[in-house]
Structure 1
């Protein structure tokens, strides 16, 4: 089984090193995909990712792991795969928004945010563009951190969150399942529990029905 990791906005492929090391030790063949939101727009990053996934699919079964914006890119790329390309065995979304995010909407007009995040930052706050990406047909597990601030100091009005996105922003009915872990957004790819979840799902997947078995 192959595993491709796509990092979040403002991070690098190195952010997934702890997770990938755990998966590699368990027998998966791991790889990463890198991009820069300050140098590329969403469409360009997606196009390169489609090519990367297509090449990966030729080598056999694979899973996709996306942290934050990386998960958004993965959904867009999977939905843009050419006909005949092998679908992913499973998709794992780590703190990846499925709805426009509150923080991106609040920061959308901030000149520093716009300069650093450019097109991808605007996409994360856009109702129309986020809706256009849509769900993926492959089994998909959402992994949500719940160690963000709560109460009056939280921008999420008391809702569970990881400090960057809230539970509602990473939730959707089409997810195969969702698991909550005691982590903040940035540290999700460093969480051993996240690695355990991925390995459990890979091991328990029913190849025939596309669902989980005990």
Structure 2
């Protein structure tokens, strides 16, 4: 099986290199998709990603994994795939918000955030836009970090979080399974534990 990885905002495909290497060591093939949020609109990235997935789907069974914004992009791309396109065996959302993110809401008016995050950052801050990105119609696992600061000094209060998104922001009724890891948001893609979760799930999906 092939696993497609889509990185998060402000990162590159290299952010998932440790995880992808572990997947390949386990016998899985890998592919990556890159984008620059500051230079492309959300919709334009989704269109490119959809074409990439169509190409992969013609090659046989596959799974997809998206970190942070990458998971939102994957959900949007999969929702608009042409009829008859082979769907992924599994979707892995790695620290990926399924509703508007409170940090994006706080930052959305600041010029630096507007410059670096572009239209994608504004989407993450808009409940009405995020609500239009539907959940996948295939098994979906949310891999979430819970090592973020909690309490009076945390923007998330006492809620579990990974330092960027909270537990409620990565939770939805259509998610098949949720796995919590003692990791911060930035380090999730490099985690061996994330890779192991994907390997085990892909093994079950091919049985």
> TM-score, length-normalised on structure 2?
0.98
1:206 Cα deviation after fit: 7.2
Aligned match of 1:53:
53
Residue 79 of structure 2 is matched in structure 1 by 79
Structural RMSD (CA): 0.9
Alignment of 1:76-115 (within 5 A): 76-115=76-115
1:133 counterpart SS class:
coil
Q: How far apart, CA to CA, are the structure 2 residues paired with 1:20 and 1:4?
A: 9
Per-residue Cα deviation, 1:66-87 (whole angstroms, up to 9, x for no partner): 0000000000000011111100
Structure 1 residues 50-199: aligned runs within 5 Å? 50-199=50-199
Using CA pairs below 8 Å that are at least 6 residues apart, which structure has the higher relative contact order? 2
The aligned residue for residue 16 of structure 1 is 16
TM-score (norm 1): 0.95
Could you tell me how far apart the structure 2 residues matched to 1:196 and 1:186 are? Answer: 18
Counterpart-to-counterpart distance in 1, 2:117 and 2:197: 30
* Other-structure match for 2:2: 2
Inter-partner Cα distance in structure 1 for 2:16 and 2:112:
26
CA distances 1:157-183 after superposition (whole Å, capped 9, x unpaired): 110000000000000011010000110
Contiguous gaps of at least 5 residues in structure 1: 208-214
Q: Structure 2: which 5+ runs fail to align?
A: none
Using the TM superposition, give the Cα deviation of residue 153 of structure 1 relative to its aligned residue in structure 2, in angstroms: 1.6
The whole-number CA distance in structure 2 between the counterparts of 1:55 and 1:141 is 23
Separation in 1, partners of 2:5, 2:136:
17
Q: Is 2:28 aligned against 1:37?
A: no
Q: How far apart in 1 are the matches of 2:205 and 2:27?
A: 16
**Stretches (4+) displaced over 3 A:** none
Q: How many residues align?
A: 207
- 2-structure distance, mates of 1:197, 1:23: 10
